[in-house]
Chain A
């Protein structure tokens, strides 16, 4: 194996958090947040680039 794998206790269950963060919903809040952080010229590629950014944060 290339990467060193540490086997640790992993989450058995997830918990929903009640929040009032204005961007917490998907796709509405998520799209609003992307519009705030993406430069205007990049917005046509929002669907693809936003999804990839989520993957980087989730899998990274």
Chain B
């Protein structure tokens, strides 16, 4: 028969020891209680960011520029180079010694501008490479797909070049943030400029890329031009990557329309604009009015492909290297010295995103995404090239000035393709967050 050694004194001793052991790590090991977020760098000396950009496919040149900007941002974060916009951003919590004292490293993925490939590369960077944040991309379809993946993985996604309303509208996510502007802001900024240049009595014919961004762009331009008094003659959806748009352009000739709105981006924009000009639309006169073509979203990199055809065409852009404010000048100087040419709007927005994320980590004092999200929500800053800017808490959309541009009639250099017509103030492009719907969800 066994004899029990259990005593009241022993129970008290054991309880005290267990209690001390349980509490000790909270006091002596920094951040130990925060191990439960994805890819916590813990006590490591470095932190890894995941740059998910198109390295192949139609947007490879934009992706290459995004990667250049990220590489420069990492350099500046680690205290190398001239510091770029770290010298102009206000308020700034970064100290030029990495993020929270950890050296910033990065891994890259190729989105191929395909949603499935982009999700696969983001997943790989999160699961195998330990990326604590994913950023980049050059398509709204890709951004929405990767944003959703990051929400599930509990990793912050700082979107790259994505212009569809849906990214911070019906498909917005708690873990997703967009610095780039959207189609609603394009409509609000471009509408008044179109009115002052072309008048109120116009008939617009839309050719629209048949995917999320195209629909979003068409909707916004229709909304703002119809409010001016314009009539929408027709809105025709064209397949993505159609190549030859002749069968969609010829109906415009006899439609009675006097404005063609090309809701196309990238190669589609280059092709449809080139072919519209070949069909003589710019030389056409309808009811005593000169026919006009509008390209709501311009990209300097892509505009090069359209050559002379882009001259005089109105559109909007997130940022242009010719801006002379302190932040833009610092970034252009830094990027130009590093690579020998000016940055694109894709490079600008991705550079800003990397810096803003790092700064939010410093503000929060942790890499815990929920706290970083809190730091980013409602964050107001300046000195990054678009005037006073705010990351709106309710939808994670950045609100800042928008540029209305026109193809330069007399460029002074190979980079001088867009002329800034107007810097539309932020107040003119702000809208109620409920307008675009969606739910952010929670931080798990």
Q: A and B, one complex? A: no
| Interface residues, chain A, with chain B CB atoms under 8 Å away | none
| Interface residues, chain B, with chain A CB atoms under 8 Å away | none
